[in-house]
Copies of this chain bind each other. A is one copy, B any other.
Amino acid sequence: MRDVRLLAVAFDPGAEIDAFSAAHAEAGGVAAFAGKVRPTDGCEALELSHYEPLSLPGMAGLADQALTRFDLLGILLVHRVGVLLPGEPIVLAAAAARHRRSAIEAVDFAMDHLKSDAWFWKREKRADGWHWIEPRSEDHRDLARWN
């Protein structure tokens, strides 16, 4: 089962994980990663923009890739768009599987792709205004692990 959502309002990762786990009663476990806006480095707000004709199909395609590549019963990908405050959840990836290694690897895979291979642009508001966030070489190295 694939559940892929772009949200313009705040969400609760724990509640999403519980609901996802309940929807996959037959799974032995659920792995998850929830990323949030770090309240550090003088970041006052984070804006996530996207191009929906690519972002949503891209997330759905990523979910399908994970379902094909790992032995999963289900996958959940939730991504915020819009302006977020420090501490707010940005992204949640969760995978349900009979065996824990499949679930953990699928979350690792999904996060590496969501972070650097999905159609999102981010800018940060600091005391001196908005700053675009560039691609990071670390993300590309992470991504290359799956080739």
Contacts and interface: CB of A to CB of B under 8 A. Distances in A.
B25 A29 contact: no
Interface string A9-33: 0001111111001000111111111
Interface stretch (A76-84, A104-112, A121-129): A104-112
Contacts of A39: 25-26
B40 A26 contact: yes
Nearest to A22: B87
Interface string A107-140: 1100100010000000000000000000000000
Interface residues on A, range: 20 to 34
Contacts of A13: 14, 17-18, 21, 30
Within the oligomer, what is the number of copies of this chain?
2
Nearest to A111: B100
A35 interface: yes
B28 A98 contact: no
Contact of A35 (B12, B28, B115): B28
Contacts of A104: 33, 104, 107-108, 111
A142 interface: yes
Contact of A101 (B17, B29, B142): B142
A2 interface: no
A72 interface: no
A38 B26 contact: yes
Given A13-B21, A18-B12, A38 B33 contact: no
